[in-house]
Amino acid sequence: MSKVIIIGAGGVGGVVTHKCAQLPEVFSEIILASRNEDKCKAIAAQLDRPIRTAQVDADNVPELTALLEKEKPDLVINVALPYQDLHIMDACLAAGVDYLDTANYEPLDTAKFEYSWQWAYREKFENAGLMALLGSGFDPGATNVFTAYLAKHYFDEIHELDIIDVNGGDHGYPFATNFNPEINIREVTAECRHWENGEFVTTPAMSKKASFTCPEEVGNYNIYRMYHEELESLVVNFPTLKRAQFWMSFGESYLKHLEVLGNVGMTGIDPIDYNGQQIVPIQFLKALLPDPSTLGPRTKGKTCIGCVVKGVKDGKQKIVYLYQIKDHQDCYAEVQSQAISYTTGVPAMIGAKMMLEGKWKKPGVWNIEQFDPDPFMEDMNKYGLPWEVIELDDFNLDG
Ligand code: NDP
């Protein structure tokens, strides 16, 4: 029996709230808090059981600390934006509450996300006897756990990792992002970094493309190599990795729009002066684009996200692919959301469940692959994200 406060009432926050509400035996009390309480109330109204809502600005540490001290939850599930991570961690430390998130900290004024800022909180959490679980979404999140699961059960040593994120969904808009547009565009336009022989190698954004055929007739997609935050922790926690890459599928229309928007300066993060008013172009663009939480009813097709690992078992080379396929419309039928928010929100609920049930419980700041993957993988099958493992004879994205 535990009490959680979920912060952030966006696409992911809606799914986490639905999924936690489905498990009253674990999440006996739920409070959904966000900057705009009306959004929390709209999500609460979709549920079969009552939850409470609250208004909070998570960037205001004293305000958030006061809420946590008043409510005394067992855990804060942070599904606001990466900019809030450190503020929410500070409030958790001040109020003595465990912490979980799905995306690593990114300063508002620099499009650079990395774990260093949050890893610097290790000692503080350890000394306070509190736990912070970082990156419990899908990627990062499930993909880290997939890697740990393959390393544990299929290999003696893992050497190469390709994380492949395909979204075969179509929402019918010429350009829209499946999660927060500002975060999505900052991520996609960043330079690519991948791990090669003991160091990160930098290449221009979207400069490496490959073709990938998903299993189970999801289809064939163009995928592009890009930097993604789980690479940073995975190469530390699996030091035998010689190469680690992340790939994501993008449609022609998305890439064409992104190129034009970039060329005209609409994806910029530095404020410009417009008629005496300071405007950040990417924030203005976000205001024009469809809200990702409204894409649910119109998105059709499937996501297919997984990890291909090459390594050695009993002296023999092996290639294993672990993947999860999810249908956008099935997600909508269950929790009124598309699959991108769903595939993020379910692992956030499962990570929280692991902590509250004491299966994963250790003071300090941890990346998700540092815990036993087995109970998490079991729950993925139980709570809407069933997965498959297949051995491959050959695998090559080098073209
Ligand atoms: P949304 O923009 O849809 O939702 C974010 C929510 O946070 C909004 O309700 C917003 O409020 C709220 N919020 C923003 N700032 C504050 C603040 N200062 N105080 C309180 N609430 C605040 O984003 P998503 O739901 O798509 O994404 C949520 C998180 O999940 C992001 O960090 C994203 O990076 C991460 N993510 C992780 C993935 C993974 O696989 N690991 C995949 C997809 C997303 P308001 O409504 O007022 O704007």
Map out the domains of the chain as residue ranges: 2-134, 142-337+386-391
Ligand 1 centroid distance, CA of 223 (Å): 25
Each residue's pLDDT tens digit, 294-332: 888 999 999 999 999 999 999 999 999 999 999 999 999
Confidence grade of residue 181 (pLDDT, cut at 50, 70, 90)? confident
Q: How many helices (H) and strands (E) does the chain have?
A: 14, 18
Beta-sheet strands, E only, within the chain = 2-7, 27-34, 52-55, 75-78, 98-101, 131-134, 157-167, 192-196, 199-203, 209-214, 219-226, 243-249, 272-274, 277-279, 302-313, 316-327, 364-367, 387-391
Kindly give the pairing relationship between strand 98-101 and strand 131-134. parallel
Best probe residue, ligand 1, of 15, 34, 286, 291 (max atoms within 8 Å of C-beta): 34
Each residue's pLDDT tens digit, 73-105: 999 999 999 999 999 999 999 999 999 999 999
Confidence grade of residue 293 (pLDDT, cut at 50, 70, 90)? confident
Ligand 1 centroid distance, CA of 8 (Å): 6
Task: Provide CATH code, domain 2-134.
Answer: 3.40.50.720
Each residue's pLDDT tens digit, 378-391: 999 999 999 999 99
pLDDT (0 to 100) of residue 338: 92
Best probe residue, ligand 1, of 81, 166, 188 (max atoms within 8 Å of C-beta): 81
Atom of ligand 1 nearest to the CA of 183: 34
pLDDT (0 to 100) of residue 111: 65
Residues 6+ apart with CB under 8 A from 158: 147, 150, 151, 238, 240, 241, 309, 310, 311
What's the half-sphere exposure (Cβ side, CA atoms, 13 Å) at 120?
9
Q: CB of 163 within 8 A of CB of 228? A: yes
Kindly give the pairing relationship between strand 316-327 and strand 387-391. antiparallel
Kindly give the pairing relationship between strand 277-279 and strand 364-367. unpaired
Atom of ligand 1 nearest to the CA of 141: 41
Q: Any bridge partners for residue 205, and if so which?
A: none
pLDDT (0 to 100) of residue 294: 87
CATH of 142-337+386-391, one of 3.30.360.10, 3.40.109.10, 3.90.1150.10, 3.30.70.2740: 3.30.360.10
Each residue's pLDDT tens digit, 198-236: 999 999 999 999 999 999 989 999 999 999 999 999 999
The H or E element containing residue 349 is: helix 339-356
Ligand 1 centroid distance, CA of 11 (Å): 7
pLDDT (0 to 100) of residue 1: 81
**How does DSSP classify residue 270?**
S
Q: Helices 11-21 and 37-44: crossing angle, nearest 10°?
A: 40
CB-defined site of ligand 1, < 6 Å: 7-13, 34-36, 39, 56-59, 79-82, 84, 102-103, 137-141, 179-180, 183, 292-293, 341, 344
Q: Global pTM?
A: 0.95
Q: CB of 63 within 8 A of CB of 71? A: no
What percentage of the chain reaches a pLDDT higher than 90? Answer: 90
